[in-house]
Amino acid sequence: MILRSVTKHVREQNWFAVFLDFMIVVIGVFIGIQVSNWNVERAGEKQAQVLIERLNEDLENDLEVLVSTLDYQAVVRTYAVRAVDGFNGVPTVNDEQFVIAAYQTSQINTPWSYRSTYNEVLSTGQINLIKNNALKSKILAYYSDDFAQQSLITKIAPFREYIRGRIPFQIQDAIRRECGDIVIPVAQTFGAALPANCDLDLPDELFTETASLLRAQPQMLFDLQFQIAVYETQVSNILNFKIETEKLMSAIKEHQP
């Protein structure tokens, strides 16, 4: 229609009408581009909101993992203190509880992290869909360090190998069977919890002999105390990551409409 109108007006040499036709075309193209840009921007905003929601879900999973790990570490520390008392002959800790506590002190439960959404938005460049620069900076800062790969959190102290090489297999097998990790749901998958107490139906003589063996080891107390120090460092770092996770979740909540 426009082309026919322009052709007609040119033939008639109606230059004002030609000018009007031209302006109609220019304005139409301009409006079309603006509408297209608006649609693209709206689509980008919606996609950014989806990404932020997915990031928040990952953070919720991270938080659940960190809390679960802290709960596990708290039980392990209780066993560690009990083992120290047992080594030092504190009357409230008998030989059975000393040996069991020594073994349980060597239990480990390392955390895992959820980074799939972040890795996706970073590799595809979709991180730039998030227009709030302050929020984007917080997201980048949070994911700059993966707590699941942090050496201070994943470190395994020598005590684990030390104690498991000295406690008789019969006792170790009974502990794993009766008082080992309990599978619990954590962050859409499974994790572990450790029983706070443990009693075994084994001969007292076996525990007495094993306790005497452990107390006769000069390295025992040193490795045990170092194990506690490693756990304390792990807990401190996990707590810091928990705080940072909660901060980022709070920032995302403020950003959501």
The single residue listed with the structure tokens 């306790």 is 211
| One-character DSSP codes across 96-142 | HHHHHHHHHTT---------HHHHHHHHHTGGGG---HHHHHHHHHH
Calculate ∠ Cα 109-58-120, nearest 5°.
115
**What φ, ψ does residue 236 adopt, rounded to 5°?**
-60, -45
Instruction: Tell me how many helices (H) and strands (E) the chain has.
Output: 10, 2
Buried b (16+ CB within 10 A) or exposed e, 27-54: eeeeeeeeeeeeeeeeeeeeebeebbeb
- How many angstroms separate the CA atoms of 216 and 43, rounded? 71
pLDDT of residue 132: 85
Q: What average pLDDT does the structure give for the chain? A: 87
Mean pLDDT over residues 55-82, rounded?
A: 96
Measured CA to CA, the distance from residue 63 to residue 211 in angstroms comes to: 39
Q: Phi and psi (nearest 5°) for 156?
A: -110, 115
Tokens of 118: 């972040």
Q: How confident is the model at residue 218 (pLDDT cuts 50, 70, 90)?
A: confident
pLDDT classification of 55: cutoffs 50, 70, 90: very high
Is the pLDDT at 40 greater than 50? The verdict is: no
Residue 121 binned pLDDT confidence (cut-offs 50, 70, 90): confident
63-72, 128-137, 186-195: lowest mean pLDDT where?
A: 128-137
Burial of 235 (0-12, 13-18, 19+ CB in 10 A): middle
Q: Which of 28-42, 54-68, 70-84 has the lowest mean pLDDT?
A: 28-42
Amino acid at 111: P
Mean pLDDT of 176-187: 96
Say how far apart CA 146 and CA 158 lie, in whole Å.
24
Distances from the Cα of 206 to the Cα of 92, 168, 169, 171, angstroms: 19, 9, 11, 8
Please tell me what DSSP assigns to residue 202.
S
Q: For residue range 14-24, list pLDDT tens digits in order.
A: 555 555 556 66
Q: What is the pTM of this model?
A: 0.82
